[in-house]
């Protein structure tokens, strides 16, 4: 049977006289993979896995704890200051100006990058290791973000809406204090538009959503499929778009605002397993984004998709894990095969 989704691999080699082999002629095998939807490439070489620690490193937890301690005093996300030092929304959008769900608090970003740019934080939690993002904590944070997103979508003119997280400085966070961001507006970000356009093209050609087909095909093959419950399916992408990337697809939710309590709980549970594994591997910084389809109600075949990636480990001399390949060529490195990562994650779920 020929599947509509073709997982394209290409092998090539690089030959050179290597000092690692006494200046004898050596040949390094390279595998390039192309994402079936976007065309983005991810590459690996035979020796690249050994360089992963050079790129990502191992967290210096003593230094991380020192930074957390030093930054605690005066932190305006902490309970002593959060209500007096953070902005408020008009009562028409959120009665009282801020939305609270359990331990999570939502308020405007003081430096917005879109018409809707909110912060979701946990005032009582100044610093969290990846393993300390419990299912309950993430459930409250994501639930508050979705609740706020629904209110904003009714009150404002929004085309797109995403929920994102930058955790720790190597992940792009400006504060140690953990927080999520709700990001939406009329100008659709480039990558979101690419997902929408390619998904709509696929739907038009095949009469079925790429993402639903991806889940069904990966689940049947088993190599990269990890876990699924309550309509949320976790897998490792064939051509990852970041280090240690995992992917969740919610085929029956077309927009972030369509996520129900069961979806949110399943996403939270999956994220906690992956983040705890990152920490076991010595990593501390990460990003995740919850993408959704257009808010105008059109069905372009793009459902809610969650992407989570690890970033450089936090230590005194941490380095970035992005360079020309990612930032300017639109490619990514594969330090280990996605199939190997999926096997490790499957055991944790």
Report which of residues 51 and 100 the model is more confident about.
Answer: 100
Based on the domain organization, do 38 and 101 belong to the same domain? no
Based on the domain organization, do 31 and 121 belong to the same domain? no
pLDDT reported for residue 328: 65
Based on the domain organization, do 208 and 273 belong to the same domain? yes
Based on the domain organization, do 13 and 99 belong to the same domain? no
Domain assignment of residue 194, yes or no: yes
Taking the C-alpha atoms of residue 240 and residue 332, their distance in angstroms, rounded to an integer, is: 7
CATH of the domain at 311: 3.30.428.10
pLDDT reported for residue 53: 80
Instruction: Domain count for the chain, please give it.
Output: 2
pLDDT at 325 over 80: no
pLDDT reported for residue 48: 77
Reported as a single tens digit per residue, the pLDDT across 315-324 is: 998 888 887 7
Strands 116-121 and 104-108: antiparallel
If you average pLDDT over residues 179-205, what whole number do you get?
96
Based on the domain organization, do 190 and 255 belong to the same domain? yes
Based on the domain organization, do 42 and 57 belong to the same domain? no
Domain assignment of residue 1, yes or no: no
Cα separation of the two ends of the chain: 30
3-class DSSP state for residue 231?
coil
Reported as a single tens digit per residue, the pLDDT across 68-91 is: 999 999 999 999 999 999 999 999
pLDDT at 1 over 50: no
Based on the domain organization, do 116 and 263 belong to the same domain? yes
Domain assignment of residue 163, yes or no: yes
Q: Indicate if the alpha-carbon torsion angle 99, 104, 110, 113 is positive or negative.
A: negative
If you average pLDDT over residues 116-133, what whole number do you get?
98
Domain assignment of residue 333, yes or no: yes
pLDDT at 117 over 60: yes
User: Among candidates 139, 136, 125, which has minimal Cα distance to 167?
Assistant: 125
pLDDT reported for residue 3: 65
Mean pLDDT over the full length of the chain: 94
Domain assignment of residue 3, yes or no: no
DSSP, res 313:
P
Q: Indicate if the alpha-carbon torsion angle 180, 276, 314, 73 is positive or negative.
A: positive
Based on the domain organization, do 237 and 323 belong to the same domain? yes
Kindly tell me the burial class for residue 76, based on how many C-beta atoms sit within 10 Å of its own C-beta (0-12, 13-18, 19 or more): middle
Based on the domain organization, do 183 and 287 belong to the same domain? yes
Residue 175 CB neighbour total at 10 angstroms: 16
- Which structural domain range is residue 253 located in? 53-348
If you average pLDDT over residues 234-259, what whole number do you get?
97
pLDDT at 297 over 60: yes
Token couple for 99: 């939305």
Based on the domain organization, do 61 and 188 belong to the same domain? yes
Percent of the chain with pLDDT over 70: 99
Integer CA distances (angstroms), 267 to 80, 138, 254, 312, in order: 31, 9, 15, 23
Residue 218 CB neighbour total at 10 angstroms: 23
Based on the domain organization, do 111 and 29 belong to the same domain? no
pLDDT reported for residue 116: 97
User: Among candidates 131, 129, 135, which has minimal Cα distance to 102?
Assistant: 135
* Spatial CB neighbours of 169, under 8 Å, sequence gap ≥ 6: 176, 285, 314, 318
User: Among candidates 170, 196, 166, which has minimal Cα distance to 183?
Assistant: 166
Based on the domain organization, do 99 and 81 belong to the same domain? yes
């Amino acid at each position: 049977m020929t599947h509509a989704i073709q997982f394209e691999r290409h092998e090539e080699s690089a030959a050179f006289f290597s000092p690692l082999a006494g200046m004898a002629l050596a040949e390094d095998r390279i595998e390039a993979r192309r994402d079936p939807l976007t065309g983005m490439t991810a590459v690996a070489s035979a020796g690249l896995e050994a360089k992963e620690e050079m790129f990502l490193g191992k967290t210096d937890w003593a230094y991380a704890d020192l930074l957390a301690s030093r930054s605690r005093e005066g932190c305006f996300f902490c309970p002593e200051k959060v209500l007096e030092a953070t902005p408020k929304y008009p009562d028409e959008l959120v009665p009282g100006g801020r939305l609270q769900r359990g331990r999570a608090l939502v308020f405007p970003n003081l430096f917005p990058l879109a018409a809707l740019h909110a912060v979701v934080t946990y005032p009582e939690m100044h610093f969290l290791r990846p393993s300390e993002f419990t299912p309950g904590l993430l459930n409250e944070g994501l639930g508050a973000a979705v609740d706020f997103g629904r209110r904003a979508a009714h009150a404002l003119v929004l085309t797109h809406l995403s929920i994102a997280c930058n955790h720790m400085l190597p992940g792009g966070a400006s504060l140690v204090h953990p927080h999520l961001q709700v990001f939406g507006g009329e100008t659709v970000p480039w990558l979101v538009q690419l997902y929408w356009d390619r998904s709509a093209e696929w739907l038009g050609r095949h009469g079925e959503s790429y993402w639903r087909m991806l889940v069904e095909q990966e689940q049947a093959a088993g190599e990269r499929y990890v876990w699924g419950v309550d309509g949320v399916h976790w897998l490792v992408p064939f051509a990852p778009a970041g280090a240690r990337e995992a992917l969740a697809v919610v085929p029956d939710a077309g927009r972030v605002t369509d996520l129900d309590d069961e979806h949110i709980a399943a996403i939270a549970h999956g994220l906690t397993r992956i983040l705890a594994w990152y920490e076991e591997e010595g990593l501390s910084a990460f990003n995740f984004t919850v993408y959704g389809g257009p808010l105008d109600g059109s069905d372009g075949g793009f459902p809610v998709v969650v992407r989570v990636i690890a970033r450089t480990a936090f230590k005194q001399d941490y380095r970035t894990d992005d360079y020309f390949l990612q930032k300017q060529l639109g490619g990514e490195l594969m330090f280990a095969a996605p199939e190997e990562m999926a096997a490790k994650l499957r055991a944790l779920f």
